[in-house]
Chains A and B, each alone.
Chain A
Amino acid sequence: MSTSSHHQHNKENSLTSKLVSQISPSGIRKFFDLLASIEGVISLGVGEPDYATPWHIREAAIYSLEKGYTMYTSNLGTPELRQELSRYLKDTYNLEYDPASELLITVGVSEALDLAMRAILNPGDEVIMPDPCYVSYNPCVMLAGGTPVMVPTNQENSFEISPADIEARVTSKTKGILIGYPANPTGAVMTRDKLSQIAEIARRHQLLVVSDEIYAKLVYGVEHTCFASLPQMKESTILLGGFSKAYAMTGWRIGYAAATKEVIAAMTKIHQYTMLCASIMGQAAATEALKAGEDSITEMVEDYNRRRLVIVEGLNDIGLPCFEPKGAFYAFPSIRGTGMTSEEFAERLLKEEKVAVVPGNAFGQCGEGYIRCCYATSLAEIEEALSRMKRFVAKHKKV
């Protein structure tokens, strides 16, 4: 995260650690406060589905509560969920993970990412990742004592991290590559071919690849490639996934990591001392999602796809050039034509037209000049937001 002023008061007797003080706070905190004070806002600022969890999943969790499943589970997660997950990864990607030793159920992908970094990094180890990227990548690496190495991406290269750019940044300290496709905030999806080139680099330099695939199910007209399914990559990939986005289960906080026995054992050590286990209710819900959730996903994806096409065309029409995102549920248009910074744009759009978007710089320096618009909201709201943004852009456009 790049936005903030680096005011680090490293007083000798500071009550908080030096490491934490090195991490920039989210630069858009004041923007959240402003948002809370305005009524009638249409929000394209969310990062979650606009559906509640499908009823059959909720019902399964209620049933498990009624039956008295309210205890701790195994540190790794319930055997049922790991079994289902193992089957799912086999059916979907033809990947075989032993449910007894190669899968770990976590409190969302967020925890899994933190565990992965802490499990693999030694102080000073470098992790290469795209810029812009999800807000927690950079801090998670830093909190684990590592050094993030950013690879700029932009609209011109469809926000895909270039294999050549990665290789140019590999040093003797490089431990791994952290990627997340389909991507938040850009909606970019990388092809199997391009990912294979990254795999090749990882093999050549013996790097680990941490692949955050939380949006795996949300792709439109293209296929998602699981990084671990690339030839010989299963052993050197830490695959992170979860239930939040595909099954509309953000509040349940259930994610997972799939990796070698050695890595999972290391991650489990940290998990067992800090988290113990993910909530049993959430795990019951996730088990049902894997057993019977496919149909609800198909319908949801069709629905998102329609909204995606509407918002992308709409943004382009009003003068905010937007590359076509092939995954997740975000559009990431450029606002450079207005001459404003991302934060300025977001703040004034909120004040003047009551539309909330997230300034792109929240996701890294290379996100400057863009805004993130989530289209997981009703078509009627998307169209209203577009018409308000049209008025806003017309008013402020630099000729």
Chain B
Amino acid sequence: MIKEILKILENDARTTTKQISTMTGTPGAEVSKLIKQAEKERTILKYKTIINWEKVGDEQVWALIEVKVSPQRDVGFDAIAERIYRFPQARTVYLLSGTYDLLVMVMDKTMHEVANFVSQKLAPIEGVQGTVTHFMLKRYKEDGEILEGKEEIKRQPVIL
């Protein structure tokens, strides 16, 4: 049941307990209990909203940074990853297979600030061998949502 509830919330975090109760045929009290538990166990990490900030004229600068790292004995990549993800500018941090090790997505207000973060904070970390910074030029799709030009439903209002 918790999986079914999580699927509903992942798609729309504003779905009410009552609605979830109807959709899953589970008593409301049970739904509340399961959600609270998931929040406590950090299965549900956070409720957030996907926003197209450009619509309100807010510029955000996003950069995708490839980081090559020398792994350390006993802790592998984790210790360096932690040093990076503690910075609030680092919004997403992944360990990847392939030609580089960590993928860090950084968000800041200006390109200058992002560049500063990379050169002053990220690159000098011990164990970081090198970085390649890609500035994001355009977002087409975010977490499954198409930002502009999403298809409309084109059907007729009554069809037998």
Contacts and interface: CB of A to CB of B under 8 A. Distances in A.
Interface of A: 26, 28, 31-32, 35-36, 41, 43, 45-48, 50, 52, 134-135, 250, 302, 305-306, 309-310, 313, 356, 358, 362, 379
Contacts of A45: 157-159
Q: Report whether over half of chain B's contact residues are helix, strand or loop; otherwise say mixed.
A: loop
A3 to B, nearest CB: 12
A47 B19 contact: no
Closest 6 interchain pairs by CB? A45-B158, A306-B23, A43-B157, A47-B159, A135-B160, A313-B22
Contacts of B7: 302
Size class of B's contact patch? 10 to 19
A152 B156 CA distance: 30
Given A302-B7, A306-B8, A47 B160 contact: yes
Contact of A46 (B8, B19, B151, B159): B159
Contacts of A306: 8, 23-24
Contacts of B8: 306
Given A50-B153, A52-B153, A358 B23 contact: no
B48 interface: no
B23 A356 contact: no
Instruction: Find the residue from B22, B159, B160 having the highest chain A CB count within 10 A.
Output: B160
Name, among B8, B12, B153, B157, the residue most crowded by chain A CB atoms within 10 Å (CB to CB).
Answer: B157
Interface string B72-106: 00000000000000000000000000000000000
Contacts of A26: 160
Given A46-B158, A362-B160, A52 B151 contact: yes
Contacts of B24: 306, 309
A310 B23 contact: yes
Contacts of A250: 155, 159
A71 to B, nearest CB: 28
Nearest to B159: A47
A116 B24 CA distance: 40
Nearest to A41: B157
Contacts of B153: 50, 52
Contacts of B57: none
A185 to B, nearest CB: 8
A302 B24 CA distance: 10
Contacts of A47: 159-160
A35 B19 contact: no
Given A50-B153, A52-B151, A52-B153, A309 B22 contact: yes
Contacts of A302: 7
